Structure 1
Amino acid sequence: EGTVYRQIPDLIFEADYKDRWIELQEAADPWKCTLPGELQEQMKPFQRLLFLKQIKEEKLITMLINFIQESLGQVFTEPPLFNLNEAFQDSTCTTPLIFVLSAGADPM
């Protein structure tokens, strides 16, 4: 498993992949970039996430969302739609609905 990482130093200094490394470094979403060499095919998604975190840690949240969508499905990254009628039907006199609003939020 760890052998996939051993080829990275050689790939960094290989002139054929210079443009790919630059693209990866400048990418707004590194998860969507093709990795140099055979890394793309050899790395499992979690290995790729760990590798990309080392290169672009500031994009970790975006990469985690992509990783979850790829591994589990998009349904796990989207918040459920709120239905007031269903929520009201689930409430009782001992289980009321409580709404917490953020400062500046418009409930309408």
Structure 2
Amino acid sequence: MEEFKHLDRDIQGSAKRWKKFVESECPEKEKLPQEWKSKTSLQRLCMMRTLRPDRMTYAVRDFVEEKLGSEYVMGRSLDFAASFEESSAATPMFFILSPGVDPLKDVEKHGNAIA
């Protein structure tokens, strides 16, 4: 692709700058070295995919927030008390767990409130 022409040469020629970028804790928040900092958000995302695929979740989140708005990346909170009221022995509650989600505090809080 023409937009990334000579990237390999630039990385070799400015190894220290690129190493600093690549080894950064949050490279998706850093500016790309030299003229690469003027790339579009999508081009920057492509470069992040190549250089730091482990940070893609964060980079995509930032991309979506920039292009669509923060409402598309903000988590939604569940009203546990309302969900509990809708449940019964015949209508149990199920928790689908994913990284960063832990309903234990809500369960304990509600259990202590009704005890």
What TM-score does the superposition give when structure 2 sets the normalisation length?
0.67
Q: Output one character per residue of 1:61-108: Cα deviation in whole Å (capped at 9) or x when no partner.
A: 1111111112211211112233468779xx8xxxxx863236884213
Q: Which runs of 4+ in 1 moved over 6 A?
A: 85-88
Paired residues in the alignment total 99
CA distance in 1: counterparts of 2:92 and 2:31, whole angstroms: 46
More RCO (CA 8 Å, sep 6+): 1
> 1:1-108, aligned counterparts within 5 Å?
2-14=1-13, 17-41=14-38, 43-83=39-79, 99-101=93-95, 105-106=103-104, 107-108=107-108
More helix by share: 2
Gaps of 5+ in 2: 109-115
Among all aligned residue pairs of Structure 1 and Structure 2, give the percentage whose two residues are the same amino acid: 18
Gaps of 5+ in 1: 92-96
Query: TM (normalized to structure 1)?
Result: 0.71
